[in-house]
Amino acid sequence: MSTFSELGLKEPIKKALVDLGYETPTVIQEKAIPQIINSDQDLKAFAQTGTGKTAAFSLPIIEQVDPSIKSTQAIILSPTRELAVQIGKNIEEFSKYIPDLKVATVYGGANIEQQIKQLKKGVQIVIGTPGRTVDLIKRRVLNLSQVQWLVLDEADEMLNMGFKDELDKVLEATPESKQTLLFSATFPKEVEAIAKNYMSDPVEITSGQKNQGSDNVSHEYYLVTERTRYAALKRVADVNPNIYAIVFCRTRRETQEVADFLIRDGYSADALHGDLSQGQRDSVMEKFRKKNIQMLVATDVAARGLDVDNLTHVINHKLPDQIENYNHRSGRTGRAGNKGISIALVTKKERGRLHPIERIIKKKFVHTPVPSGKEICEKQLFHLIDKVKNISVNEEEIAEFTPAINEMLAGLSREELIQKFVSLEFNTFLSYYQNAPDLNDLSSKENSRGRSSSEDMTRFFINLGRKDRLNPAKLIGLINDQGIGDKIEIGAIDILDTFSFFELDKNFEEQALLKFQENEPDFNGRNVNIEITKTDRGGGRDRNRRRGKSGGGFNGKRRSRDAKPNSKREFGRRREDTSPKKAHSGFGRRRRKS
């Protein structure tokens, strides 16, 4: 293993690294730094977050930039504002003993005038998000004609986010002679195309195996059903009282919903996604960094700029659409020498998607049973005892109350006292989980019944039939067009002459009614109405409700007997309707979103 001195860095940089506590270079730094310093050749690096890639490209650039020349000599493109800010901050730290070196970070959603003012003063290194960078080029305030280094950081993510045109424009604004440094965790064909079109004979380096996950991360999967997914998530939190995790979701809506549920159930959680304003996002990230929030529910993109080293878990509430993103997600834990666990909550149907991921990470997922109520109670109990044992006692402050307390507790033995204190904190968990079902059983039963399990489906009537040229494919299209939920499960379909029936995942019934009412869909000129049919399977409950254009009999207040006052669409809350956290102050901080 080499040292930073051996990599050819000058004194002021090495001094800054000592201040930051960087002792030895990481693998990617060891490979990239001398390569970039000693050669003009373009470079393609397979590196994920957490590998030290920021320093790998920043340090050799800082080493070579000429601070006596005011022109922009390096441009670093990053997919998100958060990541750009992070890189800018790192570069400022790395170059703090090089006084004339100026760095600017430019990104959308912030005052452009200020950024322009800064650029006009002369900045040698610019870090930017693609959109704002192009904007500044067009306004002729950012001149890239003297650029010697172009860095494309998280190139795969930039392309995922649709920045292809912006990348092209920035690349066009830079001179041929520059050295292009492309960093990406994955190399799908779009990234390869950029490498092919804009780089000449790049040298390839990797931090370990291409796309392979960190050795410090173990990968587990829990078999759930749509109905038990959320309950399983809560159990993961309950069985890990010190959890500090990112819960990844696929869509903004899913993210907000999971976070809302967790908050409502008393967990220390919040949401991070693109529908939030920049101010809200900054505030959530700050709270998470400071550990005022234990669980951050986030989309892949929003979590990108978050630099947190000590996550205990990454939880895949749902697997990412693009399997490569699993690597990005799980790479958020097991960083800086820590161990981490990446958990995937998967249904039997989704389980097949683990295999291609296993091939990428070159590790096997371990099937782990969803924690039982007993296991959780045990964990929480010992966590409590540990807390009691380690709590620092402020003798002075409590001294004045001690005599009165002693008097009140007189007559209780040590054993009784322990039992009572423990019960005070612990009873809520105990009673909550006492009769909790085994979620593993539920998932196996459900899975063995298959997707058309009648208990889990709601049968709908729709006022369209063969005479309206409805067929199953068109009906599925019509249902999917309403935006009821992601990959909503559609069961049996019966198309009759003038009307039809279809089944939907029961968890989506409210949402289906609502969406059909809101969207007022039209099918071949006919207004579409749906209603829940009387079921002959469910013990004769009268569940006949309509939500057509007129609003039918449903006004949002009448609910079927089994719906909880607060029940929302997606998350199965029938079996674990409340939370042990809800009425409990001892575990985790209870908080409400303002």
Closest CB to ligand AMP among residues 26, 129: 26
Applying CB under 6 A, among 257, 260, 307, 456 the residue interacting with ligand AMP is: 307
Cα–chain-centroid distance for residue 557?
A: 33
Residue 95 interacts with ligand AMP (CB under 6 A): yes or no = no
Applying CB under 6 A, among 25, 60, 340, 373 the residue interacting with ligand AMP is: 25
Q: What is the largest CA-CA distance in the chain?
A: 87
Region of 18-26, 298-306, 375-383, 468-476 interacting with ligand AMP (CB under 6 A): 18-26
Per-residue x/- marks for ligand AMP, 192-231, CB under 6 A?
Answer: ----------------------------------------
Closest CB to ligand AMP among residues 29, 372: 29
Closest CB to ligand AMP among residues 93, 438: 93
Residues in the chain, total: 594
Per-residue x/- marks for ligand AMP, 383-422, CB under 6 A?
Answer: ----------------------------------------
Amino acid in position 64: Q
Closest CB to ligand AMP among residues 22, 499: 22
Closest CB to ligand AMP among residues 49, 124: 49
Region of 19-27, 33-41, 212-220, 368-376 interacting with ligand AMP (CB under 6 A): 19-27
Closest CB to ligand AMP among residues 129, 511: 129
Task: Tell me how far, at minimum, the Cβ of 33 lies from ligand AMP, in Å.
Answer: 10
What is residue 355's three-state secondary structure? helix
Closest CB to ligand AMP among residues 22, 501: 22
Residue 594 is encoded by which pair of tokens?
């303002």
Task: Tell me how far, at minimum, the Cβ of 305 lies from ligand AMP, in Å.
Answer: 10
Long-range contacts of 395-402 (CB under 8 A, 24+ apart): none
Closest CB to ligand AMP among residues 30, 509: 30
Cα–chain-centroid distance for residue 133?
A: 26
Residue 543 interacts with ligand AMP (CB under 6 A): yes or no = no
Task: Tell me how far, at minimum, the Cβ of 307 lies from ligand AMP, in Å.
Answer: 6
Per-residue x/- marks for ligand AMP, 40-69, CB under 6 A?
Answer: ---------xxxxxxx--------------
Closest CB to ligand AMP among residues 9, 478: 9
Is residue 571 within 8 Å of residue 257, measured between CB atoms? yes
Closest CB to ligand AMP among residues 22, 97: 22
DSSP state of 24: S
Task: Tell me how far, at minimum, the Cβ of 286 lies from ligand AMP, in Å.
Answer: 16
Closest CB to ligand AMP among residues 24, 38: 24
Residue 22 interacts with ligand AMP (CB under 6 A): yes or no = yes
Distance CA 345, CA 351 (A): 9
Closest CB to ligand AMP among residues 305, 491: 305
Task: Tell me how far, at minimum, the Cβ of 567 lies from ligand AMP, in Å.
Answer: 40
Helices assigned H by DSSP within 121-163: 130-138, 155-160
Task: Tell me how far, at minimum, the Cβ of 52 lies from ligand AMP, in Å.
Answer: 3
Kindly list the distances between the CA atom of residue 169 and the CA atoms of 9, 164, 264, 546, 583, in Å, as whole numbers in the listed order: 32, 9, 46, 53, 56
10 Å Cβ neighbour count for 8?
A: 15
Closest C-alpha to 319, from 236, 224, 238? 224
Q: At CA 591, angle to CA 585 and CA 594, rounded to 5? A: 155
What is residue 438's three-state secondary structure? coil
Kindly list the distances between the CA atom of residue 263 and the CA atoms of 58, 477, 582, in Å, as whole numbers in the listed order: 39, 34, 9
In SS3 terms, 529-557 reads as: CEEECCCCCCCCCCCCEEECCCCCCCCCC
Task: Tell me how far, at minimum, the Cβ of 336 lies from ligand AMP, in Å.
Answer: 5
Closest C-alpha to 516, from 489, 488, 480, 543? 480
74 burial class (0-12, 13-18, 19+ CB within 10 angstroms)?
buried
Task: Tell me how far, at minimum, the Cβ of 167 lies from ligand AMP, in Å.
Answer: 21
Task: Tell me how far, at minimum, the Cβ of 93 lies from ligand AMP, in Å.
Answer: 9
| φ, ψ for residue 451, nearest 5 deg | -70, -20
Is residue 285 within 8 Å of residue 272, measured between CB atoms? yes
Distance CA 194, CA 458 (A): 48
Per-residue x/- marks for ligand AMP, 313-342, CB under 6 A?
Answer: -----------------------x------
**Count of positions on this chain that bind ligand AMP (CB under 6 A):** 14
Cα–chain-centroid distance for residue 173?
A: 34
Distance CA 418, CA 423 (A): 8
Is residue 495 within 8 Å of residue 461, measured between CB atoms? no
Task: Tell me how far, at minimum, the Cβ of 473 lies from ligand AMP, in Å.
Answer: 46
10 Å Cβ neighbour count for 518?
A: 11
By DSSP bridging, strand 530-532 and strand 545-547 are antiparallel
Closest CB to ligand AMP among residues 336, 408: 336
Closest C-alpha to 258, from 241, 266, 270? 270
Task: Tell me how far, at minimum, the Cβ of 268 lies from ligand AMP, in Å.
Answer: 23
Applying CB under 6 A, among 309, 321, 441, 518 the residue interacting with ligand AMP is: 309
Residues that bind ligand AMP (CB under 6 A): 22, 25-26, 29, 49-55, 307, 309, 336
